[in-house]
């Protein structure tokens, strides 16, 4: 064996991952939207408080002002599930919707 390939094993969300978050601040309408929709991490910054920029689609007009470029900054604690596959998280959302 001449070459050993090292893989970076990380249990942290990365850019391009789909996420389900919980909103810890803001108004109830924003919390309901973020808690019940899948976002995608578009940027990871090297800072302690809110390192993840999560982008959402189909944001209702009445809460658009709470988002910057259709995205919100999230902390690691606010991300409750993440996956490379959106379908994995869609199953979770549906199960929660019907209390399964």
All structural domains of the chain with their residue ranges: 18-97
Decide if pLDDT at 84 tops 80: yes
CA–CA separation, 35 vs 30, rounded Å?
8
Q: Backbone phi, then psi, for 34, in 5-degree steps?
A: -65, -40
CA–CA separation, 24 vs 72, rounded Å?
12
pTM equals 0.82
Query: What average pLDDT does the segment 29-39 reach?
Result: 93
Decide if pLDDT at 47 tops 90: no
Q: What pLDDT sits at residue 3?
A: 52
Per-residue tokens: 92: 């979770």
Decide if pLDDT at 6 tops 50: no
């Amino acid at each position: 064996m001449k070459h050993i390939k090292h893989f970076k094993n990380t249990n942290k969300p990365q850019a391009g991952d789909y996420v389900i978050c919980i909103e810890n601040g803001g108004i109830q309408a924003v919390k309901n939207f973020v808690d019940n929709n899948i976002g995608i991490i578009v940027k990871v910054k090297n800072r302690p408080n809110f390192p993840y920029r999560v982008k959402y689609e189909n944001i209702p007009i009445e809460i658009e002002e709470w988002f910057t470029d259709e995205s919100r900054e999230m902390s690691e604690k606010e991300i409750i599930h993440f996956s490379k596959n959106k379908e994995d998280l869609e199953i979770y959302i549906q199960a929660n919707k019907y209390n399964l």
